[in-house]
Amino acid sequence: MAQARATEWARARARGLLAAAALAALLPGGARADQELMLFPTRLVLAAGQRAAQLTVVNRAAKPATFQVALVERRMDEVGQLVPAPEPAPGERFATPLLRFSPHQFTIAPGAEQVIRVQVRRPADLERGEYRSHLLLKRVAEARAQPRAGGFSVQLEALVGASIPVIVRQGPLAATLAIEELQVERPAGGAPALAVTLRRDGERSVYGDLEVFAPAPGGLERSVGKLRGVAVYVPNRSRRARVPLEAAPGPGPLRVTFREEPTRAKPLAEATLELR
């Protein structure tokens, strides 16, 4: 049985790494430097009773790199961008005091993997709710001597970094989501998109994929746009999101769904926009 569990974990890990690689390949050109680092999974959630988790880091660069690891506090703004959070907002709890991790620094060869282990220590009187901080991996700058007329100069390489949320949940927590304010955007010279507002209620964050469906022949429907990895973190009640569409939609209903788990039959939320 233990061997079967290990085999299943290895298969799941391989599927996750392939999915992470595919996601990295879809990143815009401006994020190309971040593609040198691949993380799996892209978030850590420690549910009630769970004491440990691990993050796998893959160096996709052509040379070794050294990274420092730290816990930082971030907050999501109304358009989904993460910004520094010096102090917790009302209803917001940081997970840093509960977490331990190792290693704090590591050097990784090209194509190699490094595992970061995260542990949570829950005090006996820990309040029910969700606690969140972000695990930051920051590349250590490498100074290189560059020849120049009359001597040498020192050049610092560009830093590459990445972070993932680490969420600790205490107690059984629930959340609901509503999709509102649907609007098709048709920017001049740009690709169309469906803009929506996500409204979260409950005790925990939500994280999943937005997908848009349009009518297809035979009374069916087809997927015309998808946005993966959309989060609404506690304490935020709402955020805006834009789902790029394959083409400008014609008349008829556009249906948008939000699924936390792709295999779950019923989405967490859905809504319809009737186009005329």
| DSSP letters for 3-30 | HHHHHHHHHHHHHHHHHHHHHHHTS-GG
13 belongs to a structural domain: no
pLDDT of residue 35: 72
User: 184, 179, 178, 183: which is closest to 246 by C-alpha?
Assistant: 184
Read off the pLDDT of each residue in 192-209 and give the average, rounded to a whole number. Answer: 97
Please, are residues 96 and 71 in contact by the beta-carbon 8 Å criterion? yes
Residue 153: pLDDT band (50, 70, 90) is: very low
pLDDT at 2 over 60: no
pLDDT of residue 222: 95
SS3 of residue 164 by DSSP: strand
Indicate whether 49 and 149 sit together in one domain: yes
- 255 bridge partner residues: 213, 272
Domain boundary residue, one of 136, 170, 204: 170
SS3 of residue 136 by DSSP: strand
* Omega of the bond leading into 90 within 30 degrees of 0 (cis): no
pLDDT of residue 261: 82
Please, are residues 75 and 89 in contact by the beta-carbon 8 Å criterion? yes
Residue 113, sorted as left (phi over 0), alpha (psi -120 to 50) or beta, turns out to be: beta
Name the CA dihedral angle for 229, 232, 233, 237, rounded to a multiple of 10 degrees: 180
- Domain at 237, CATH number: 2.60.40.10
Gap between the terminal Cα atoms of the chain: 57
Read off the pLDDT of each residue in 60-70 and give the average, rounded to a whole number. Answer: 94
Average per-residue pLDDT in the chain? Answer: 86
Residue 147: pLDDT band (50, 70, 90) is: low
CA distances from 208 to 96, 102, 120, 177 (A): 24, 28, 24, 11
Please, are residues 206 and 268 in contact by the beta-carbon 8 Å criterion? yes
User: 127, 131, 155: which is closest to 142 by C-alpha?
Assistant: 155
Read off the pLDDT of each residue in 127-152 and give the average, rounded to a whole number. Answer: 79
SS3 of residue 104 by DSSP: coil
The structural domain count of the chain equals 2
3 belongs to a structural domain: no
The dihedral built from the CA positions of residue 121, 237, 178 and 244, taken in this order, carries a sign that is: negative
**Secondary structure element (H or E) that encloses residue 172, with its range:** none
pLDDT at 157 over 60: no
Please, are residues 212 and 221 in contact by the beta-carbon 8 Å criterion? no
Domain boundary residue, one of 140, 170, 200: 170
262 belongs to a structural domain: yes
Q: Give the rounded percent of residues in the chain with a pLDDT score beyond 70.
A: 81
pLDDT of residue 151: 54
Read off the pLDDT of each residue in 223-227 and give the average, rounded to a whole number. Answer: 97
Which residues span the domain enclosing 156?
Answer: 34-170
Q: What's this model's pTM, rounded to 2 decimal places?
A: 0.81
Indicate whether 42 and 87 sit together in one domain: yes
251 belongs to a structural domain: yes
83 belongs to a structural domain: yes
Read off the pLDDT of each residue in 66-88 and give the average, rounded to a whole number. Answer: 95
Q: Higher-confidence residue: 191 or 130?
A: 130
d(CA 74, CA 89): 11
29 belongs to a structural domain: no
Lowest mean pLDDT among 31-35, 195-199, 224-228: 31-35
pLDDT at 14 over 70: no
